[in-house]
Amino acid sequence: MIRVENIYKSFGEKSILCGVNLEVCSGQTFVIVGSSGVGKSIFLKTIVGLIKPESGIITIDGIDITKCIVSDLRKIQKKVGYVFQESALFDSLNVFENVAFGLRSLTNLSEEEIKNRVTKCLTMVGLKNVEHLKPANLSGGMKKRVAIARTISYKPNYILYDEPTTGLDPIMSDVISDLIISLKKYLNVSSVVVTHDMKSAYKIADRIMMLYEGRIIFSGTPEEVKNTDNEYVRQFVEGSSRGPMQQIDRTFKMG
Ligand SMILES: Nc1ncnc2c1ncn2[C@@H]1O[C@H](COP(=O)(O)OP(=O)(O)OP(=O)(O)O)[C@@H](O)[C@H]1O
Ligand SMILES: [Mg+2]
C-alpha cells in the first residue's frame, strides 16, 4: 500500500503541496486531476522519492521513503514504476535498449532473459518490430507505449502515470486507457494516474481526486464526480473558463 500523509512542499515562497493525503490500496487505480501548474507532477515525484517534501510521511509497503537510507530507497523504487509526462526515453538508445535499461540497472537478469522480457513487454503494449527504432522515429503514442513497456519490464507493484494520454488522438488515448486497465487486471498493479483527460479518467479510475491550491478538495468514484455539485470539480470536468477557478485576466488591452 502507498500511504501519503500530510505532505508539504514549496519552492521558495511558493507553496505547492499544503497537506496532501492519499492512500492507494492494492489493485486500485487512483486518478488525480487538477489545473495545469497545480502540483500534480510534483506530487507524483514526491511519491517516488525524486523530490523530498519539507514535511509529511510517505510509506510504501510500510517503509517511510522520506526517512529511509539510500539502499532501502533503491529497493522501494524497484516496486514503484514511473511513467514520465514526456515519456523521458533516452534519445540515443533504440527501443530495445530503452526498455532494457531498467532491467540492466535494477535486476540481475541474463542477456537472454532481458531479450525475452523486453519482447514480452513490447508485445503487451501492442508494439512489434520496433526494437531497432530510435525515439525520434516514433509517434507520440508509440513513445508512451515504450515508456510503459520500460516501466512494466521490472514488474513493479505500483505504477505512477503522469498524463499518459496527453497529446494523443482520441483512439490512441483509449488504447492507452485500455492498457492501464489490462495492466491492473493481469499484473495486479495499483496505480496513480495524473490526467486532464476525463474520458480516460472515468474509464480507468476506481477513485478520482482533485488537487487545488495544494490540497485534495474532492475525492469520489467516477459516478460521484459525474453527479457532484462541487463547483470546482464541475468547472474542471466541463472545461469551462467561467467558475470559481478563474485565473486569467480577460481584459484585453491591445495597442
Ligand atoms: N524545480 C522547481 N523549482 C521551482 N518551481 C517548480 C519546480 N518544479 C515545479 N515548479 C512549480 O511548481 C508548480 C507545479 O508544477 P507541476 O509540474 O507539478 O504542475 P502540474 O500540475 O503537473 O501541471 P501540468 O498539468 O501543466 O503538467 C508550477 O508552478 C511549477 O512552476
Ligand atoms: Mg505535470
List the domain range (segments joined by +) for residue 89. Answer: 2-238
> Which CATH number do you get for residue 129?
3.40.50.300
- How many domains does the structure of the chain reveal? 1
* 109 CA to centre of ligand 2 in angstroms: 33
Measured from the CA of 38, which atom of ligand 1 is nearest? 21
Is 119's pLDDT higher than 80? Answer: yes
Give residue 11 CA to ligand 1 midpoint distance, Å: 9
| Residue 85, pLDDT score | 82
Establish if 158 belongs to a structural domain. yes
Question: Has residue 253 been placed in a domain?
Answer: no
Residue 191 pLDDT greater than 90, yes or no: yes
Whether 249 is in a domain gets the answer: no
User: Which residues surround ligand 1 with Cβ inside 6 Å?
Assistant: 11, 16, 34, 36-42, 85
Whether 32 is in a domain gets the answer: yes
| pTM confidence score | 0.91
**Residue 246 located in a structural domain:** no
Protein residue with its CA nearest to atom 17 in ligand 1:
41
Instruction: Indicate the SS3 state at residue 122.
Output: helix
Residue 252 lies in a domain: no
Q: What is the pLDDT of residues 218-248, one digit of tens each?
A: 999 999 999 999 999 999 998 888 888 866 5
pLDDT, averaged across the chain: 90
Q: Which atom of ligand 1 is nearest to the CA of 196?
A: 25
Per residue in 86-96, pLDDT (tens digit) is: 878 999 999 99
In a domain, 180, yes or no: yes
Whole-number pLDDT of residue 248: 56
Is 89 part of any domain? yes
Nearest to 191 by CA among 48, 56, 86, 55: 48
Q: What is the pLDDT of residue 150?
A: 93
- At 10, the amino acid letter reads S
Give the span between the Cα atoms of 79 and 239, in whole angstroms.
Answer: 35
